[in-house]
């Protein structure tokens, strides 16, 4: 859906619906895919370091998503996956080291002795999860229109179907 929206739908929105439509893209972690958390953390790091590159990074993530599916990360450590994600971020002009520095998990306890220290974007991820829970988002993709879950839109929507739906619903 992201690739369809970003290539077939979003470019025409300002012209077709000036001042009538606002798109809010929210990340939704799929906890049944453990690497989903790592991918979303990398996007949060990019958002923090170079917000203007977030869409480009999201696009490249979707283009490379299979590289981060369960069977392709199972034999690497979490930090090794983070290194690959940081390298991917560098392909859209975000500093690789900066991304990795926000993502890296330390191998020693925190100053207070805690063992689940998280990383530089853990708090960002907590906010994402809380917001999506409040909105009733449980699966991806989920589309909300005027704040209400719109179940008629599916992940298989084509650009043409999006254009038809928008024409019918945006007044």
DSSP 45-76: HHHHH-GGGHHHHHHHHHHTGGGGSHHHHTTS
* Burial class (CB within 10 angstroms; exposed 0-12, middle 13-18, buried 19+) of 43: buried
| Predicted local distance difference test score (pLDDT) of residue 40 | 96
**pLDDT for 70-103, tens place per residue?**
999 999 999 999 999 999 999 999 999 999 999 9
**pLDDT for 33-78, tens place per residue?**
889 999 999 999 999 999 999 999 999 999 999 999 999 999 999 9
For residue 121, what pLDDT band results from cuts at 50, 70 and 90? very high
The token pair at 116 is 């689940």
Whole-model pTM?
0.86
% of the chain exceeding 70 in pLDDT: 100
C-alpha distances in Å from residue 164, one per residue of 58, 154, 161: 25, 14, 5
Q: Is the dihedral of CA 66, 67, 71, 77 positive or negative?
A: negative
């Amino acid at each position: 859906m992201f690739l369809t929206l970003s290539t077939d739908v979003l470019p025409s929105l300002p012209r077709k619906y000036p001042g009538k439509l606002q798109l809010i893209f929210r990340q939704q972690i799929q906890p049944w895919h453990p690497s989903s958390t790592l991918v979303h953390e990398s996007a949060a790091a990019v958002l923090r370091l170079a917000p203007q590159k977030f869409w480009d990074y999201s696009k490249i993530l979707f283009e490379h998503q299979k590289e981060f599916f369960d069977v392709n990360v199972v034999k690497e450590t979490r930090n090794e996956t983070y290194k690959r994600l940081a390298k991917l971020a560098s392909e859209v002009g975000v500093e690789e080291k900066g991304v990795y520095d926000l993502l890296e998990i330390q191998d020693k306890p925190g100053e207070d002795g805690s063992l689940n220290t998280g990383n530089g974007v853990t708090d960002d991820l907590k906010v994402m999860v809380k917001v999506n829970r409040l909105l009733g988002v449980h699966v991806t993709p989920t589309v909300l229109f005027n704040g209400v879950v719109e179940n008629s839109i599916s992940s298989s929507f084509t650009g043409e179907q999006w254009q038809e739906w928008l024409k019918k619903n945006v007044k």
